[in-house]
Each structure stands twice: as C-alpha cells, then as structure tokens.
Amino acid sequence: MAKERAQNLIKQLHDAVVKMDEEASAQLSKTILAEGIDANRAITEGLTAAMSKVGELYTNQEYWVPELLLCSDALYAALDILKPEVKVEEADIKGQIVLGVVEGDMHDIGKNLVKVMLDAAGWTVHDLGRDVQLERFVEEQQRTNADIVALSALMTTSMLAMPKVIQMMKARDPNVAVMVGGAPLTREIASSYGADGYAKTAVDAVAEAVKLLKPREIK
Amino acid sequence: MTKFKQDEMTEKERFEALLLRKPIDRVPFFPYDFAFAPVMLGYSKFIGYTDADKGFDAIVRTHEMFDGCNYAFHPGGAFPARVFGGEVKIPTSEYAMAVALERPAVETEEAAWKLQLPDIRTRGAIPLMMRFSELQYKYGYPISFTSGSILTRLGYIIGVEKMCRWMLRKPELVHRLCQLVVDFLVSVAEYWVDTFKHPELMIPLTGAPTDSNQIISSKQFAEFCLPYQKEVYQKLRDMGIRHIFTHICGEQNLNLPYWAQIPMGDPGIVSFGHEVDLDTASKYFPNDVIMGNVEPAVIQTGKPEAVYELSRICIEKGKKHPSGFILSSGCDMPPHSPPYNVWMMRKAIDDFGWYI
Amino acid sequence: MKPDRTTSRERIDALLAGRTTDHVPLYPFMLGFCTKNVGYPLATAYSDPQKSFAAQLWTQEQYGFDWGPIYGYASYGTWEFGGQVKMPEGGYEQAPSHVSFPVQTEEDIDRLSLPDVKTAGFLPLAMEFSRLQAEHGTAITLVLGSSFTIAGNMCPVEILYRWMLRKPELVHRLLRLATAHIIDTVKYWADIFGAEQVIPQIWEPLANNDIISPKQFEHFILPYLQESSASILGTGIKHIFYHICGQQNLNLPYWSQVSMGNPGICSVGSEIEIGTAIKHLGDKAIIAGNIAPHILLTGRPQQVYDLCKNAIEAGKKAPRGFMLMSGCETPPDTPPYNIYMMRKAIDDSDCY
C-alpha cells in the first residue's frame, strides 16, 4: 500500500510538471516529504522523468518555449522543496557544469532552458548568466573544478567569442570538455572552434553533456 | 566591382521598377547592413544606434561599394522598449550585435493592465529613427519606420519570457497588450505620414524574430500575432502606403500559412531566413517580392565558394518567382563578415542573376 | 565602377613597356588587409603562401587593383641569417617581428655565413609563393630588403647605428654579406623562373632621414644599392621595384644614381611629393605612391579620395608612368570603403 501510494504521488508530481501546474507540483512535493517518501527518488523518478517527457513533447513540436518555461516553473517549485532534503551521499549527481551566455549576448532563454534540463537531470549547474566576460568561464571552472563548460550564443557576432573561450580553457586544462550551442551554430562550426560537444536544443544538451563526462576520481 | 557586367539601370530605377512589377535588368542585392555598413567605414558597428547621420551615410556608401539596392532601415534598437519606459543597453562589446533589453517597461500583471499608449514623438529611439527618415527622404531612399511584428515589439515591452508565460497563463492580458501594440504601431505610422506627407514613398519594416517557431507554436502565432498584424497592415494600406517590408526571421515554416493571410502590399517585400526554402516562400507569396536568404553564419565563417554557391542556389530559385526577387542574407549581415564573402554574393548575381 | 578595357596583367605590362594604359594602375600595397578581407587569420599572410596568395588575388579581384600578389615583410634577414621572428598575433600586430637577432656582438659577425637560398628562413615559403605567381601569370616579385635594411635585421638597429659612427667597418661587413645574399637570392629566382619574369622588390625603410643623414646614406647605402642593382640587372632582369619608405627627401639625389631597370619602379611615401619623386627619378622609373597609410586607416573617405585625386593629377606628369599606391603597407584594419575610394578616385579621373 505504502509502496503504491509513493508511486502514485510521484506519478502525480511527474504529471504536474508535464502539465505546467506549479501549484500542484509544490503541494505534491510537500506531501511527498510529509509522507516520508525519499526526496531523491521523487526527484529522479518524478522530476527528471517529467522533464525528459517535456523534452520529448518539445522535440515532437507539441510543446514550445512558452510551455517549456511553465514546465520549468513547475519543476523549480518542486525542486526548491525537495532538493534540500536529499542526503548528499544519496544524491545522484551526474557532474558539474559551468554554463553561460558569452560576452556581448543578452539572449538567455535558450541557456535558461538548458539549465532547467540539466538541473532536472541531476547536474550541478554553475550558471554565470548572460553577457559573461570570457575569462569568467575559465575562472569559474577553476573555482568549481567543473567537468564541462557550456557556452551559449544567439548571434553571429557573439559566437566569435567561443573559439577564444575554448582556447583559454584548453590552455588552462585540456581535460575540461567544452560544449556549445545556439541558433547560428552547427556541429561543423562547433568542431572548427575546437569544441568537444554541440547541442542543437536544450533537450539535446543533457545527452551531449553525459557523453562528454569523463570518469571522475572518487573522493 | 570592375569586372561585373555593366548595369542597365541605376539602383533606384531597378528597385522602383521591381515594385511597379516592371522588368528589371538583374536581381537586386540587399546587404542587410545596419551593423555591417559602419564597419566598412571604420565606425563602431553600433554607430547607427546613436548617430543616425553616420549610420545612414555608412549604409549608402556600403551599398555603393557592393551595389546594394535602394533601401535602408533603422531598427530602433530593442524597439519600442524605451518609448514605453523600459531600459536598453547600447552594446560596446566586440561580440555584441544589437541593442538589448535591460529592463522591461512592464514587470507585473498590474502594470501591464494599466499600460497606456505613450506620446511617441520624443520618446526612446523615435527621434533618431525620424532623423534617419529625414535622410532617406533627402537622398531619395524609401522612407522606413517600424510596422511590426506584434510579438517582437511586445517582447521588447514586457520581456520575451514573460510574454511566453502570459500567453499560456494570462492570454486575455496578452491580447490586450497586442491591441496596444497595434495602436502604437499605427500611431508611429501616422506620425511618419504627417511628417513626410507622401505615404507612397514609404516602405515600413516588420522584423519578426520573436514569432519564430523556435520560440512559439504556429497556433500561438495565429492567435496572438496574425489578427493584430493584419490590422496594422490594413491601416497602413488605408493611409496610402503601398509596400511593406516583412522580415520573417528564423524558423517560421509552420507560420507561413498564417503570414500568407496578411496582405503585404502591392507588392510587399517578404524576406526569409535561411530556414525557409525560397521555393516554399514563392508558393506562399506569389504576389509579393520575395527576398533572401543566404545563411548569415556561412557568410561570416564560411569559405567564399560556399557563400557563392548558396547565393547561386538562392538566385536560381528566386529568379523564377513571378513577382520578383532580391538576394540578401537570411538576416542581419554579421558585421564581422569578411567583405569578400559579401562581395561573392554580388558576384553570384553577376554570374546568375541577369534577366536580360 | 566603369568596366575595365584591359586585364590587370595587360595594364601592368603596358605600364612597364611605356604604353598608354586604360586607366591609372592601382596598388594598395596590402597583405594583412587581404587575409582579413577574406576571413583568414592575419598571420597567414606570411605563414601560408597558398592562403596569402588566394587572399590577395581575391581581394585584387574585388577591389580592382593591379599589382601583386606579393609576399614579404620588413623584418626580412633576421630569420635567414640565423635569428628568430614570430608571426603576428593579437589585435595590434601587423607583420612578423623580431624575437632574436643573429648579431648582437662583433664576434657574432664572424659566425655569419651566406644563407642557403633554398632553405634559409622564409625563402622556401617565398619560393612556394613565386610558383603560384608563375602558375597564375602574375609578376614574379621577390621581396627583399635592401642591404642596409637586411643589415638592420641581422643586428638591432640601436647597435647598427652606433657602429655606423664607432665601428663603421663592422657595418660594412654586414652590408657586404647582405648584398651578396641579395644577389645570390635574385640569381636563384632568375634561374628558376627566367630573368625576364622576375621583378625583385627591394624595400628600404631604415634609410629614413628621420634617423640617418643623407651623408650616411651616401656612405653606407648607396654603394651597395648600386652594386646589387647592377648585378640584378646583369642577370637579365628588366625592372627592379624599389620601395623608398618614409622620409627620404634628402636621399633622393642618391637614389637617382641607382640603376633601376628600363624602367624601374619607385614607390614613395606621403613624405615625398609625387612631383619631387618625378624630378629625381621620373626619367628612369615609374613613380608609385603616395597615399599616407594613416589616412587610409583613420581618414574620412573624402580625405582619401582627395589625396588620391591629387596624386593621380601629379602622377600624370611622370614621363615613365605612374601607379597609384599607398605610401607604405596598408594597415590590416583599414576601413574597406577607404580602399574602394582609391579605385573610385581612379574611376573619376580622366582615363588616359
């Protein structure tokens, strides 16, 4: 019974995110905790799975950016409640990623959606925001020892900053993977810039980040 | 330049003939060069956002250099954010391209419900855009001003993310705001017509990046853009404006059936991003001039032969269009584009773009 | 633009043969500008002959100018004699620059030897470039410094100038070696391509009268210029292109004593009036010049246009012919429209 109840609540949480119901997802998260259901389980089976479903709906052109934004609101309404209750040793942390929109570019919807997908998938995201000075990416990676640096650009002018960041990053630590994304980019351009990875959409970004993740030392 | 076949018409004659549906000698070229042109003259690429005279001069000279057609526009810069009381950032970074919205005029639902039409004449970018138009008039260029898109302008008033959220959560509020944008755009048009008195000399510009299917669905376009954009265009036509330049920016294939319901002019000029095939564009806009659509990122970073080949493909498709075709980049010419790549577009016209 | 009636090659051939050309030939003298114009990194102007050639050829086609492509830089001699240069990088460098000189002390001179023209320094790249020139039917222009400029690249100029006063014999040793190298290299090029096809381009920026006196020019530079030019012309080469760089008005009477070919080509900077250049050199050389690079870089288009029109007008009096040219290398960041204005000024002038 308890098992069924837990499954049911997590399913409801999943559906609340997919259906963009911010209020419901917050309420369900509180209920989940109150009933002693494992927060980490709720995140992975409920929220991560929900955003994966949302990603599918976006790829199939059933959901668009407005829907993604509302799903992300519902996601964070739940995550903000559940995450603090996750025991560190149980946390299924995929990896650490530094994320930002490069200098000169103020368009951050795409980057924000990438953050949502990565958060949902269990990544620790160090979000530098938009119009990020080039050195900041390297400094933040150094500070956090992040596995991956992810750069976003929407304009043909700002994409020109990317090879410089990649060069700076590789000069500092060639083992850190750099991935790029944004409207004017293609996989070919990304490769010519020296990037290790490229994602066309926010949905693709998570899969690409997983591919780039190298085995980490167990501390 | 020196090796091209001699033109039979001036740029002005060609552009006018195109809009009168008369034969022309060759495909015109529009470099889309508000940011690119200043770089050709050694100015900051953002000069047009602060100095209309230099911005216009740069465009005229760059058109001379590349045989660009007789049209120019001033985008305003996150227009009309400042007109409604928002704040913008005039860029300085070498990696920036355009003015960005810093703080929207409207941040709450309450403020959105109360938002009224401002007195436009002295606000925001309007004086600068008016000065640009004075120069257009003086030097025989068609006079341009902003005529849309509804959602792109709304995005600059309230912020794109908020607009997206409200489209789902508060559609009635978005409808209210869309109508306000209509009233605003019509008031701009009236101001321009009052000032210059010759609507037949005007070709207003609609830039529509926020309507892209990379952001909204075609259903959302149909609900929140179509009826209002139609209303604006009808009112412009009623004022005596014959031609409207509509830049359908980015991935908008799913919106085309709706855009096609909007009368664009007699003819209109409809420009497309590289995401829309020109054969498709031709099908949806048989009675309008179509324009496009070499991918800007290729112009910026691609080899000259790649730009040439893409231009050739565009020309060969566009030339078949019964109402005329203008070769251009699929969106703003990246200001750091190698000038030779831009020249390759003109060269492709010389090799493939003659009608005579 | 008015359509040309001849090709660039035909125009240059006519100029060199003393025939009338359809319009004033144009040479904006640019390498880094061309690589930037086509989207290549600046350094490829010097490090990659294929890219450098293509960039210049394409830019030539775009702007309608006539001389080139060429391959060379002012620091020639450092690398060839055993020092090091580095390719330009960053936003503010224009050409290869010195890292280390082969000569810092007197003893270093003893260790110098004549470079192998097949393998020394940038010469293999220059040869690759000249093969492209031959393939494309453009003039085969080998760019070298004059003896004095090469000496100033073998040894830091602060030392060279001190030795000119304190130990002139050391300077002469360097100049001897530099002259032998110039002759050696030009002969090699003449053997490979045929003397009639080769037009050596000799740059002389270090003889500037802001630095040395005309007497020092007479003593340290003139004899070696005369020797090398005589030897070059003795191979059967018909024309030498001398770039008389910067303020050299006081040196002109000496330059006029240098054989340059029939005709030679003399390019001058904005510091030398076209009329003055014609007076001293017009009977033996085509005069080329003299639009100030800093005006090209920072001037308004009308300024550039006016300068060009004035130069064209003055150049009409050159008995052996005139080519509109920048006074020295056009900076890579020159606004493209200003280069266009050079061609426009020609277009608006009376055609011949």
CATH number at residue A170: 3.40.50.280
Asked whether residue A54 falls in the same domain as residue A118, the answer is: no
The answer to whether the bond into C208 is cis (omega within 30° of 0) is no
What would you report as the CA-atom Rg of chain A, rounded to the nearest whole angstrom? 18
Residue A144's Cα: distance from chain center in Å? 16
Q: Is B74 exposed, middle or buried (0-12, 13-18, 19+ CB in 10 A)?
A: buried
pTM above 0.90, yes or no: yes
- Asked if the Cβ–Cβ distance from B297 to A65 is below 8 Å, we say no
What's the pLDDT at A157?
Answer: 85
Instruction: Give the Å distances, CA to CA, from B21 to B286, B287, B291, B321, C66.
Output: 12, 10, 15, 12, 41
What's the pLDDT at A106?
Answer: 86
pLDDT bracket for residue C325 (50, 70, 90): very high
Query: CA-CA distance, B8 to C260, in Å (whole number)?
Result: 46
* Mean pLDDT for chain C overall: 94
Residue A133's Cα: distance from chain center in Å? 21
Asked whether residue A104 falls in the same domain as residue A174, the answer is: yes
Of all residues in chain C, the one with the smallest CA distance to B67 is C1
Buried/exposed code over A81-101 (b: 16+ C-beta within 10 A; e: otherwise)? bbbeebeeeeeeebbbbbbbb
Of all residues in chain A, the one with the smallest CA distance to B335 is A157
What's the pLDDT at B91?
Answer: 86
Residues of B in Cβ contact (< 8 Å) with A102: 95
Chain B, window 50-79: residues with a beta carbon less than 8 angstroms from a chain C beta carbon: 61-62, 64-65
CATH number for A22: 1.10.1240.10
Nearest Cβ partner for A69 among B94, B101, B161: B161
Is C348 touching B (CB cutoff 8 A)?
Answer: no
What's the pLDDT at A91?
Answer: 61
A186 lies in some domain: yes
Contacts across the A-B interface (CB distance below 8 Å): 92
Asked whether residue A80 falls in the same domain as residue A158, the answer is: no
Total residues found in chain A within this entry = 219
Query: CA-CA distance, A18 to B192, in Å (whole number)?
Result: 47
Asked whether residue A159 falls in the same domain as residue A136, the answer is: yes
Q: Under DSSP, is residue C25 helix (H, G, I), strand (E, B) or coil?
A: coil
What's the pLDDT at C170?
Answer: 96
pLDDT above 80 (res A172): yes
Asked whether residue A17 falls in the same domain as residue A108, the answer is: no
- Asked if the Cβ–Cβ distance from B40 to C336 is below 8 Å, we say yes
Asked whether residue A19 falls in the same domain as residue A110, the answer is: no
Of the candidates A85, A118, A148, which is a domain's last residue?
Answer: A85
Q: Under DSSP, is residue A101 helix (H, G, I), strand (E, B) or coil?
A: strand
- List the one residue out of B334, B332, B276 whose CA is nearest residue B302: B334
What's the pLDDT at C351?
Answer: 59
Crossing angle between the packed helical segments C274-281 and C301-315, to the nearest 10 degrees: 30
What's the pLDDT at B1?
Answer: 41
- List the one residue out of C328, C118, A70, C3 whose CA is nearest residue B165: A70
What's the pLDDT at A219?
Answer: 38
Q: Where are the alpha helices (DSSP H) in chain C?
A: 8-17, 32-38, 44-47, 49-63, 106-110, 123-136, 147-154, 157-166, 168-193, 214-216, 222-234, 252-255, 274-281, 293-298, 301-315, 336-348
Asked whether residue A101 falls in the same domain as residue A129, the answer is: yes
The answer to whether the bond into B267 is cis (omega within 30° of 0) is yes
CB C156 within 8 A of CB C83: no
The 3-state secondary structure of A110-148 reads HHHHHHHHHHHCCCEEEECCCCECHHHHHHHHHHHCCCE
A155 lies in some domain: yes
Phi, psi of C198, deg, nearest 5:
-95, 135
Nearest Cβ partner for C301 among B5, B61, B341: B61
- Asked if the Cβ–Cβ distance from B336 to A183 is below 8 Å, we say no
A28 lies in some domain: yes
- List the one residue out of C257, C264, C258 whose CA is nearest residue C238: C264
A100 lies in some domain: yes
pLDDT bracket for residue A89 (50, 70, 90): low
Chains C and A touch (3+ CB pairs under 8 A): no
Is C78 touching B (CB cutoff 8 A)?
Answer: no
Question: Residues A14, A18, A22, A23: is their CA dihedral positive or negative?
Answer: negative
Strands laid side by side in the B205-207 sheet: B29-30, B325-329, B289-294, B269-272, B245-248, B205-207, B146-148
- List the one residue out of A127, A195, A134 whose CA is nearest residue A164: A134
Which residues, in sequence order, are CB contacts of A203 under 8 Å at separation 6+?
A55, A56, A58, A59, A117
Q: Which two tokens stand for residue B42?
A: 């050694």
> How many CA atoms lie less than 13 Å away from A213 in the CB half-sphere?
17
How distant is the Cα of B351 from the closest Cα of chain A, in angstroms?
Answer: 28
- List the one residue out of C254, C258, C263, C298 whose CA is nearest residue C284: C263
Query: CA-CA distance, B247 to B229, in Å (whole number)?
Result: 13
Of all residues in chain B, the one with the smallest CA distance to C64 is B2
- Asked if the Cβ–Cβ distance from C62 to B304 is below 8 Å, we say no
A90 lies in some domain: no
Query: CA-CA distance, A4 to A37, in Å (whole number)?
Result: 11
Residues of B in Cβ contact (< 8 Å) with A107: 100
What would you report as the CA-atom Rg of chain C, rounded to the nearest whole angstrom? 19
The strand pair at B100-103 and B87-89 is best described as: antiparallel
CB C117 within 8 A of CB C184: yes
Of the candidates A85, A104, A131, which is a domain's last residue?
Answer: A85
Is C330 touching B (CB cutoff 8 A)?
Answer: no
Strand segments, DSSP code E, in chain A are 96-101, 124-127, 148-152, 177-181, 197-199
Of all residues in chain C, the one with the smallest CA distance to B300 is C39
**What is the DSSP secondary-structure string of B64-116?**
HHHT--S------SSTTTTTTT-EEE---STT--S-EEEE-S--SHHHHHH--
Asked whether residue A27 falls in the same domain as residue A112, the answer is: no
Its domain, for residue A183, covers 96-212
What's the distance, Cα to Cα, between the start and end of chain A in Å? 39
Query: CA-CA distance, C290 to C277, in Å (whole number)?
Result: 10
Q: pLDDT tens digits, residue range A109-155? A: 899 999 999 999 989 999 999 999 999 999 999 999 999 999 999 88
pLDDT bracket for residue A218 (50, 70, 90): very low
pLDDT above 80 (res A215): no
Query: CA-CA distance, B78 to C292, in Å (whole number)?
Result: 40
Predicted-complex ipTM score: 0.92
Residue C279's Cα: distance from chain center in Å? 21
A54 lies in some domain: yes
- Asked if the Cβ–Cβ distance from A158 to B89 is below 8 Å, we say no
Query: CA-CA distance, C183 to C227, in Å (whole number)?
Result: 9
Asked whether residue A8 falls in the same domain as residue A53, the answer is: yes
Query: Element (H or E) spanning B293, and its range?
Result: strand B289-294
Query: Averaged over C225-231, what is the pLDDT?
Result: 97
Query: CA-CA distance, B245 to C2, in Å (whole number)?
Result: 32
Which of B88, B95, B152, B166 to probe by mutation at the A interface, max A CB count within 10 Å?
Answer: B95
Of the candidates A85, A115, A132, which is a domain's last residue?
Answer: A85
Q: Under DSSP, is residue A199 helix (H, G, I), strand (E, B) or coil?
A: strand
CA angle B136, B137, B141 (to 5 degrees): 50
A219 lies in some domain: no
Instruction: Give the Å distances, CA to CA, from C287 to A146, B320, C9, C235, C304.
Output: 63, 51, 18, 24, 19
Total residues found in chain C within this entry = 352
Q: Which two tokens stand for residue B331?
A: 């969106």
Total residues found in chain B within this entry = 356
Per-residue pLDDT tens digits of chain B, which is 356 residues long: 457 899 999 999 999 999 999 999 999 999 999 999 999 999 999 999 999 999 999 999 999 999 999 999 999 999 999 999 999 998 888 899 889 999 999 999 999 999 999 988 999 999 999 999 999 999 999 999 999 999 999 999 999 999 999 999 999 999 999 999 999 999 999 999 999 999 999 999 999 999 999 999 999 999 999 999 999 999 999 999 999 999 999 999 999 999 999 999 999 999 999 999 999 999 999 999 999 999 999 999 999 999 999 999 999 999 999 999 999 999 999 999 999 999 999 999 999 999 98
A218 lies in some domain: no
pLDDT bracket for residue A90 (50, 70, 90): low
What's the pLDDT at C3?
Answer: 75
Which residues, in sequence order, are CB contacts of C298 under 8 Å at separation 6+?
B42
Query: CA-CA distance, C217 to C208, in Å (whole number)?
Result: 9
Asked whether residue A193 falls in the same domain as residue A107, the answer is: yes
Chain A, window 85-124: residues with a beta carbon less than 8 angstroms from a chain B beta carbon: 102-107, 109, 112
Number of domains making up chain A: 2
Query: CA-CA distance, C100 to C81, in Å (whole number)?
Result: 11
Query: CA-CA distance, C20 to A144, in Å (whole number)?
Result: 71
Asked whether residue A50 falls in the same domain as residue A71, the answer is: yes
Asked whether residue A39 falls in the same domain as residue A64, the answer is: yes
Q: Which residues pair with A3 in a beta bridge?
A: none
Chains that touch B (3 or more CB pairs under 8 A): A, C
- Asked if the Cβ–Cβ distance from B338 to C39 is below 8 Å, we say yes
